[in-house]
Structure formats: structure tokens, C-alpha cells
Chain A
Amino acid sequence: MTDLATSERTVAPRIGENAPRPDGVPKVVGAFAFSSDLHHDRMLWGGTLRSTHSSARIRSVDVSTAVAVTGVHAVLVSDDVPGQKVFGLEYRDQPVLAGDVVRYEGEPVAIVAADHPEAVRMALEAIVVDYEVLVPVVDPMTVEEAEPVHPDGNLVRRIHLRHGNQDVVGDVQVEGTYEVAMQDQAFLGPESGMAVPADDGSIDLYVATQWLHSDRDQVADCMGLDPEKVRLTLAGVGGAFGAREDLSLHVHLCMLARHTGRPVKMVYSREESFHGHVHRHPAQMWYRHHADRDGTLVRVEAHLILDGGAYASSSSAVIANATCFAAGPYRVPSAEIDGAVVRTNNPPCGAMRGFGAVQVCFAHEAQMDRLAGALGMDPVALRLQNALVPGDELLTGQTIKGTAPVAEVIRTCADHPPGASMAVDPLELPGGAGRTADPEHVVRGEAFALGFKNLLFSEGFDDFSEASCRLAGGVATITSACAEVGQGFVTLAQQIAREVLGVDEVVLLPASTAGIGSAGSTSASRQTWMSGGAIQEACGQVRAQLLEHLAAEHGVDADDLVIADGRVVSMAGGFEVDLAKATTEPIEASVVFRHVPTLPLDENGQGNAHVSFAFSAHRAIVDVDVELGLVKVVELTTSQDVGRVLNPLQTVGQLEGGAAQGVGLAVMEEVLVQEGRIRNPSFTDYLVPTALDMPPVEIAALIEQAEPGAPFGAKGIGEAPSISSTAAVAAAIRNATGLDLPRVPVRPTDIVFPGGTA
């Protein structure tokens, strides 16, 4: 914080500095308007009737009583969807409102608009849905033989990756079966937004989202409108982590607004939010690792099953990641990975920070520890020996062309001196405020884990971001539709513009579909690179235009001109002009930025499918009360491959926040699902780490090796911290207890009754 406080200075912070966040203070003092704070004097309130069953046929929906409730302006069902009845990120397979079947608990069936939230509630209660309840399909391991959950079948995607010589057998083999439960993104700002109809039949939708243009296109199709008739503006986002990549209330709001001719606002309750967005895919994973006696990995085999729930969402990309990165950041000459993502009547799953890499990291790191045990090797040495280096091939046969400082990440993290001493304050022992443990009940464990993931979109996706820069009167105005979801893009965009243009004053316009093309999604650790890259280029073009113009006008050398302190000056001397004056005539540039193209995976899961990779390591130290099965994570140390640090404070923020989500998955975060029903849809029972659960994050090293093609060489840093942290914590608990613990989150009963008594 001291850095922030002292960063008040005349020259606004540029690249590499701790620029303060424009939205930081407003968020802390409660002045920031989140999407749930939207207001319009004429607005109605919207609400959603959700399925109470995870699988049922709808015989009828009777809205007659609901329509008659005082204050109710509209009650709409599936037949009222004006355009395409389904939406979806990759495949349009999810109904806007359930028609004749419901496929998960909480699926929207009807929507209501009324002049008061209480009238909405009464109307929702008055809707009568006649369900024929069906037996839900809930076991992902057997769905392929089960009744189809969806007309498209129960298999969303299978990738049968085969790499290298398939006959390789290692001297030493270790085998294991692993499971990752369903995690929730647990953002604090529930789904919310407001649709405002215009007289010309167009609609403005203000909503918290990750990708305005993708939403816009899906909403337009479902509304039967041309895309230009639907304008999306980003409303204040209270966290996302993947859960806002899919549509939620978007089309519902637009339908209600269009039907009533009034602005309509909707805010999900917390419980509704748990049903209203996708979660992290639960995974069942079998692995066999083969190595030579000296510890060289020779082959990895794995079967991965991810449960996608009833609709495709981004499942096919998630299984691609899980499959491609199944073995971790190691040199593996031979592999067979069978990855499948299936449909069930469990809650729908899709994008979440780490996107497929989190699940497999938990498994491959457990395997590496097991292998080290079988070989009698030090686990860190085993990892170092097999660490990828630039020029190595991935399981996909793709050669790593960019930076891959894997060994540096491992070494710096493993060599960092541990700092945690044994706690004396009972609050700091496992059990915390509950005062359950004394120091003699506690066993300490330590372990190390390594992970990696692709940055940007893969598999031939046309991934681009548009941005424009306008320099007028010495002030730069940046336009981008990039969604600020808390990651700090609003800060970086200004830092980049200042750095390139040499100006101090930068205005970033609100993100909207109205003024600019798509920025792509705020996901896949991609916005700093993609939208940052677009801004860098746009600003660069504006700068070049300005300097060339001045050079021509004043007969000076453009290469000799610099912009600083509000002036354009010739380094050789003799020429100087006020920047504001030089730009009374605005200079503009607009750029569509693309990364190098990628290719689809072939039938063997081979191909140059990815652009770039980020690597991270965590070392966890845990205290375990073995008798009660309670855990306290006492220290997390990390090193990460970041390319270049653009804003040190924000970098630390990402590393801490990502690790907190990783700790959560390791020891407590789980959406409990029984027969397709969520048993803990609240923050009372879906537990996320508190200050007493989250240790300080020690950053051993930020490895800065400039990544080719990335703006300023900076890699995306948002996802890597959530990948190896879970694996490290789980492994440290194994180290403390001597138990296998093949599942996360590790529950007290997994430690107390390891045989599975209860």
C-alpha cells in the first residue's frame, strides 16, 4: 500500500509502475456502481421461475394467476422467445427458457416483470408448472450408455490424444485415480443487469459480463434482432472468474423490456446465482506414468472424464486444455490421453479460472510425487530433470517457440527459504477460532507443485481485439470493449497509452458494443496481451502519425522527436511544440490485433493448437490436526513466469487472489451435488477461505523473460496462480498425514476416516 500512496506524482505512472486503479478507491469506499446498483426511474423488476427438478418433462405451464397479480406487467415463457430459442458460447444448445423439458435444477422456465420485487415474487409463486419428473442422469462415468440428456447426445467431446511411439514402457510405473469436485467461482456481485427498450425497436442492455460482443450476438439472435439493434454496455462487474462468459439473464431482460416497453432490472439472489451460472467441471482422472530408473519420463497415459452438465457451454475447450496439458510442463515423448466431457443432469459447467488445467494439475502433480517416491528421488529434482525447455515438444507435438522458464520457476520457488514458524496463538492453528487444537495435535507437511496453461484462445479460433486511440488537445482517449471484471485492465490500458504516447492524461471510454468492435473475452489470461496489444498498436500509430506530421510541417526528423511533459521536443534541440497545440486537430487510429494463428487438433490430438504458455510453481506448508481432519495452510510460496511485470501491485494481486481460489479448492470449496441438486447454494455452506484460512503469499520470483508477440513481452498472469496452488496444498496434506488423498477438496473425513468409513 505504501507504493500506492507514494505514487502520487506529477508524471502519471507508466509501464512497470504501480499505477493506482481508477476504480480502486470507489470500490473500497462503496461508491462504485455495480450492475446490481443500476437504476431507472421507470424501471420494472424482473424475476425468474426455475426448475425444481434436475430432470423432468414439462406437461404445462399455467401463468393465468400470475398475470393477474397486482403490479405484474409480463409473464413470459419459452413460446415468447422472439428469435432463436437457444443460446450458447460455442454451440447454441441451451434454451433461453425451458420448453418441454428441464435438464438441470434451477433451469429458467418462466420470467416475470412487475413494478415491485414483492409482486415479482408473488407472481413467480403463482405460476403452476406441471412436471413429469424423470430419473436424472448423474453419473458421468456411465452416461454414454444412459438415456440422452440432450438431443445432441451425452458426449460433448472426446479427444483421443496419441503422441510419439505408443509401444514405450517405462522401467518404473505409477498409477493413480484422482477426483476434483465441482468448484464455484464465488464472485460477490450476483448476476444483474438492466434492459432499456428504445422507440426504434432497439435495446440497450447494461450487464456485468466478460465478453460484450459475444453476448450481443447471442442476444440479438434470440431476440430476432439485427446485432446493431442490441447495444451492450458493461455495468460494474463484481467478479467473474469465468462464470460470466455464458449468458444468464441477458435475453430474459431484453424480452421483458421489449414486451413491457419499460426498462427492466434483474438481480439474482445468492441462491439463484449458484443455479444461474456454470461451475468448474468436476473431473475423474486415471493416470499411469512411466519413467526410466534415472527418473526420465518416457510415457504418460491418462483417462479424463469431465462432467459438463446438460449444456455444452465452453466444455469442448475445457476438455481440450485438460487433454493437451494432462501431463504438466514436462518433457513426455510418448503419451495416450483419452479426454471426454459428457452431459449429465448435474449443474452446468463451463469456464473457470484455470480452465481444465486445474483439474489435471492436481492429478499429474500427485503422480509426479508418487513417481518420486517409487524412484526414491527428491520430488523437486524429478521435476527439474523433466522440465520443459524452449524447443521441446508438448503432448500435442507442438514445439514451444516462446519462452518457457520452467526450471527457473521451479528453482526459485523451491530454493526460497521457508519462513513459517510453529504457531502458538490458537487462532493460527488448524481449527482457528474454534480453538480445537493444541500444538501437540498438529503435524506439519510441505510439498511442491508445478503447473502450466495456454494463454489466449487456441485450436484455430479467430482471436482478435479491436481498440482505437484518439489524441486531441494533448489528451488520449482509448476505446475498447474489453470487460473490466476486476483484473485491472482499466489501469493497464492507461499505463500502456501513457507509455507509448508519452502523454499524462488518458481517458478510457466505457466498454460498449456501440463504438467499437469486439475485444474478445476477458478470459484465457488474454486481455493484457490482446486488448493491451491493440491499444499499444493504436497508440503507436497515433504517435507515428503525429510525429510524421510535425516532421513534415517543421522540416525536422521524425525519429528525433520525443513526447514528454506535455511537449513534443526534438532531441537534437531547436524544435519544441506544445502537445495540446500540436493535436488541436485530432489524430486517430483504430487497430484489430490478432495473435499468431493456431490450428485445430487432428484426430490424434496433435497440432499447433496453442499460442503461448505460462508456468507457475507453489510450495505449500500446512499444519494438519490429523485427529479432527482440520487443516491450516500456513505458508504458500510461489514463482511465476510472467514475461514482464507491467504493474507490480496488480501482479501481486493476481498471484494472491488466484492462490486463494486454489487454497479454497484444496481444502473447502465444493458445490455439493446429490441427484443433480445443489445442497449448498449459499455462502453459509459454500465455504471460501477467510483471512484465517489464507496464508500470506510469498513471491519467490517473478520470472521476466519477454514473450515474443506480447505487448512489452508481458504474458497473461491471471490463471496460472490458481493451477499449481491446489495441487501443492493437497500434496502438503499428504506429506503431513501419509495418506493418499486422491480427491480435492480434502474433507475432514478424508483424513479422519481414510478407509471411507463415513
Chain B
Amino acid sequence: MTIATSLEDACAALAAEPNSVIVAGGTDLMVEVNRGSRCVENVVALDRIPELADWHLTGDELRFGAGVTFAEICEPEIAALVPALAQAARTVGSPQIRNAATLGGNIATASPAGDSIPVLAALDAVLELRSTEAIREVPVTEFITGVKATCLMPGELIEAVRVPVLDGPQEFCKVGTRNAMVISVASLALLVDRSARRIRVALGSVSPIPLRASEAEDHASGHLDWDSGVQPGPEVVREFAELVAGSANPIDDHRGSAAYRRHAVRVLAERSLTRVLNRVSSP
């Protein structure tokens, strides 16, 4: 077990023992270890590395260290810059979990139900991956390659996540069968990017990898009168919701049926677009 206090230490430890397992908040890892589904021989702990726990705003770009916790992301300062990420963070587990759970851990786990992932996908977030050998940058949508599968290489860790600060309202909604502390059955992030005149939409829990609903994005972006702020009619919203639902690729499991998931993202799409339109058109 290495308790790293710097990025260099951590990368050196990972390089020395390429089968090492990284632990950050431990809220995913320890569940797997306790269940016996993950065998851990060497552990590299990241939670004492100051750089990883930091976040900075540079121009209109936010850079989160991978060790920033969801509790921190819920704080008003961050919530003002990336509201949807803060909304997603608030839905993660309980206060105890949010105090320990990190953004980097959520991404590296690469669960289709990971709540930060749709927001990061909609933001076109870029990950900074570091090893003793190199630093490389990978978009989050490419980083996650399948259910709980990533392109992280032995010896590598996620150092940071970079996202743009957009001009426009944002929404994250998540459906679960409990009012808090529940694994997502379906989720949706919808962001308005005024300067690019785009509506961005990504879905959670309805596909193995992060999913952008690009056809729906085109439809909504094209029907919005960006200059006057006049709202498109309900048929545009409905069509948008249909396109979102059509882009989903859900499965049946014990948490929800594919039909319900598809239905749910349709409803979330309709409601979240309505919400942001109300705010876009109000001065």
C-alpha cells in the first residue's frame, strides 16, 4: 500500500507495480473488494495528494483535480459555474458518500449509471491522464469504452478533468425509485451553450458508453430563435424528446425495464428543455 503525497510518487508507485489498484474515496472500490469481486494486492491511495483535491478557473475553463469530491462540487462556487454538475453531484449517494466519493473515481469506474458522466459528456470534458512516461488528454466520451471499461493504461491515473464554463442554463435530472440515495435508472443532462448556439444533451443509464443525443441536439438548436429568445412551440419540444428517446439504447435489468428507461428519458428531455427554455426566454 502506497499512500502517495504527490503525483510523482503516485505515478512512480504505479509504474513500479503495474497491477496496482488506485483508491481515491474508496466508495466503489471497497464495495467490490468486500464483495470479493476485485482482488487487490497493491494499492496506491490518492487521497493525500494536494494537487488532485484542487480546482481552478482559468478564463472560461474549469479544471478539476480528479480527487475533488462530490460534496465540494455541490458547493455554491462550483454550482454557479457548472450547475448541472452540481445537480448531478447532489444526487450521488448520501452526505457520507459525497464527502468521500471523487469525480475521478466516478469516471474511472465507468458505470453507465455514474451520475457525473452524462454532464461531463455534454460538456465535452477532457481528461488529463498521467503516468511516469507521459501526460495525455482524452475526451471523456472516448475514455469510457464500455460498461466499466476504460482506456486507462497500467501505470496511468486520471489527474484532472477540464470542462468549459458555458453561457446558458443547465439541467441534470435523474430517475430512481427512491427520492434520494439511489442508483440511476435513467438520467439526462441538458446544457445551453449560447455562444455556440447549441443545446447539448447527454443521457445516463441508457447505454453502455456515454451517449450524446446529437440528432436531438441539432433539432433543438435549429429550432431555437437565439436572437429573439422566443420559445419554439410544444411540437418542437415533443419532437426533441422523441429524438432523445430514440437515441437511447437501454437494457432490461432489475432496476428498470428498457421500455421504462426509454420512456423516462423522453419525459426528462421534454421537461428539461421546457425548463431551460423558460429561462432562456426570460431576460
Contact = CB atoms under 8 A, between A and B. Distances in A.
Q: Do A and B come from one complex?
A: yes
B34 A687 contact: no
A121 interface: yes
B87 interface: yes
Interface string A415-439: 0000000000001001111111110
Contacts of A628: 175, 264, 267
Contacts of B171: 435
B177 A668 contact: yes
A433 B271 contact: no
A752 B180 contact: no
Contacts of B271: 436-438, 441
Interface in A669-713: 672, 679-680, 684-685, 687, 689-693
Interface stretch (B213-221, B231-239, B254-262): B254-262
A438 B171 CA distance: 13
> For B172, B177, B271, which residue has the most chain A Cβ atoms within 10 angstroms?
B177
Nearest to A678: B254
Given A685-B183, A687-B182, A690-B180, A630 B254 contact: no
Nearest to B115: A434
Contact of A687 (B90, B178, B258): B178
Contacts of A753: 259-260, 263
A269 interface: yes
Interface string B219-256: 00000000000000000000000000000000000111
A521 to B, nearest CB: 32
B36 interface: yes
Given A441-B271, A693-B180, A431 B175 contact: yes
A747 B177 contact: yes
Contacts of B178: 432, 668, 687, 689-690, 692-693
A749 B257 contact: yes
A684 B174 CA distance: 16
A430 B172 contact: no
Given A628-B175, A685-B255, A693-B179, A269 B34 contact: yes
Interface in B260-279: 260, 263-264, 267-268, 271, 275
Contacts of B94: 690
A313 to B, nearest CB: 25
A436 B36 contact: no
A752 B263 contact: yes
A758 B255 CA distance: 13
Nearest to A436: B173
Contacts of B263: 752-753
B180 A435 contact: no
Interface string A721-758: 00000000000000000000000000111001100011
Contacts of B179: 427, 430-434, 630, 632, 690, 692-693
B18 interface: no
Contact of B172 (A435, A437, A438): A435
A562 to B, nearest CB: 52
A627 interface: yes
**Listed residue (A432, A436, A685) with the most chain B CB atoms within 10 angstroms of its CB:** A436
In the complex, which of the residues B94, B180, B268 has the most CB atoms of chain A within 10 Å of its own CB atom? B180
Contacts of B91: 433-435
A66 to B, nearest CB: 16
Interface in B137-195: 171-185, 187
A533 B175 CA distance: 50
A432 B257 contact: no
Given A435-B174, A438-B275, A753-B260, A627 B180 contact: no
* Candidate in B90, B171, B178, B183 with the most chain A CB atoms within 10 angstroms: B178
A105 B32 CA distance: 22
A271 interface: yes
Contacts of A269: 34
Contacts of B176: 434
Given A438-B275, A668-B177, A758 B260 contact: yes
A89 to B, nearest CB: 31
B283 to A, nearest CB: 21
Contact of A749 (B36, B173, B260): B260
B177 A684 contact: no
Nearest to B31: A684
Interface string A617-632: 0000000000111101
Contact of B183 (A430, A435, A684, A691): A684
A350 to B, nearest CB: 24
A627 B260 CA distance: 11
A632 B185 CA distance: 17
Given A438-B275, A758-B260, A679 B180 contact: no
Quick one: which of B90, B94, B260 has the most chain A CB within 10 A? B260
Contact of A758 (B173, B258, B275): B258
A45 B263 CA distance: 49
Interface string B38-57: 00000000000000000000
A432 B275 CA distance: 17
A434 B175 contact: yes
A627 B185 CA distance: 15
Interface in A343-379: none
A752 B260 contact: yes
B269 to A, nearest CB: 12
Given A685-B183, A690-B181, A693-B179, A757 B259 contact: yes
B255 to A, nearest CB: 7
B255 A627 contact: no
Contacts of A690: 94, 178-181
Most chain A CB atoms below 10 A, which of B182, B183, B255: B182
Nearest to B34: A269
A691 B94 CA distance: 11
Nearest to B172: A435
Contacts of A430: 179
A432 B180 contact: yes
A687 B181 CA distance: 9
B268 to A, nearest CB: 7
Interface string B86-99: 01001100100000
Interface string B117-131: 000000000000000
A748 B260 contact: yes
Contacts of A441: 271
A679 B172 contact: no
B73 to A, nearest CB: 14
A668 B31 CA distance: 23
Contacts of B174: 433-436
Contacts of B257: 749, 758
Nearest to A680: B254
A748 B177 contact: yes
B221 to A, nearest CB: 23
Nearest to B174: A434
Interface in A429-488: 430-438, 441
A441 B175 CA distance: 14
Interface in A620-677: 627-630, 632, 667-668, 672
A375 to B, nearest CB: 35
Given A628-B264, A684-B183, A434 B258 contact: no
Contacts of B259: 749, 753, 757-758
Given A692-B179, A748-B177, A749-B257, 11 more contacts: A427-B179, A433-B181, A434-B173, A436-B174, A436-B267, A441-B271, A630-B175, A630-B179, A668-B177, A690-B181, A753-B259
13 contacts: A269-B34, A433-B174, A433-B181, A434-B179, A435-B173, A438-B271, A628-B264, A680-B254, A692-B179, A747-B177, A748-B177, A757-B259, A758-B260
Interface of A: 121, 269, 271, 427, 430-438, 441, 627-630, 632, 667-668, 672, 679-680, 684-685, 687, 689-693, 747-749, 752-753, 757-758
Interface of B: 31, 34-36, 87, 90-91, 94, 171-185, 187, 254-260, 263-264, 267-268, 271, 275
Q: 8 closest pairs, A vs B, by CB?
A: A432-B179, A758-B259, A434-B174, A692-B179, A758-B257, A692-B180, A679-B254, A433-B180
